[in-house]
Structures are given as C-alpha cells and as structure tokens.
Amino acid sequence: MFPGKESELPPSPDERRNMRRFDMRLPAAVKVVGITSDDLITETQNVSARGVFFYLDRRLPEGSSIEVTLTFPPHVTLTEAVRVRFTARVVRVENPLPPARIGVAALIEEYEFLHSNPAPEFLSDLQNDLSESN
C-alpha cells in the first residue's frame, strides 16, 4: 500500500493482523471521540491499510472511538502531500514501558482525504468552465 520499510516483527501465535504493516513515523493528531476536544499529538510507529499503531502519554480504553489526522508526505504518496483523517477503534493498549509511552493499536473504520484551500487560479478556472458549460 505505502512505499516504505515493512515491519519485520515475527507473527505471534495470536496474531490477528492480515494486512502488511509499514514502519512509518508520521506526525499525527489523535482526538478521543466524546471525551475530549483536545488533540493528543503523537507520531505513528506503523501503518497499514486497516490499522495504525502509536504511543501516547495516557491510556485509552479499549473500544474507544478515536479520530486521527495525519499527512502522508510526497515521498510516500509519490505525488504531493496528502492529509487524511480517519475514525478508528482502539483494539489494543500495551502496558507502558517506559511509563510515559503507552502503545495504542487501532483498527481504521472510515477515512476521508482532507483538501487544503485550492489555489485562486484553480477556482477561477473552475468558475470559467462552469459558466461556459451553462
């Protein structure tokens, strides 16, 4: 799915993942749905088409619904940077070692691509195209 280094962890007997994971350190903002409006700033450790793993400085209850926003850089997308926001469900919380780093694994349920403000030229071209077609 994403160019990058694939995670090389050997599968454990109770391994439930079925998508390839890629080691990707991407800045991310995590929001716990219904609990706080503050973003928790973190960095992803690995990402797959269906999930994400990152560390936080606080525990999240398993089953929590979260919203994660991150940007895939040009060297990953092979085009321009792409911002993505997705909702996910926390499926695993690892015991903290060290105590300030609590591992969180989340299953991605929905995602959307976020668009930055289009360039003014694009808007004027679009407006011209629309007026010519009417």
**Residue 1: pLDDT above 70?**
no
Which residues are registered as beta bridge partners of 84?
Answer: 70, 113
- Rounded to an integer, the average pLDDT of 115-133 is 56
Domain range enclosing 25: 5-133
Whichever domain contains 96, its CATH number is 2.40.10.220
* Mean pLDDT for all residues in the chain: 80
pTM (predicted TM-score): 0.71
- Domain total for the chain? 1
Per-residue confidence at 68, pLDDT binned at 50, 70, 90?
very high
CB 88 within 8 A of CB 106: yes
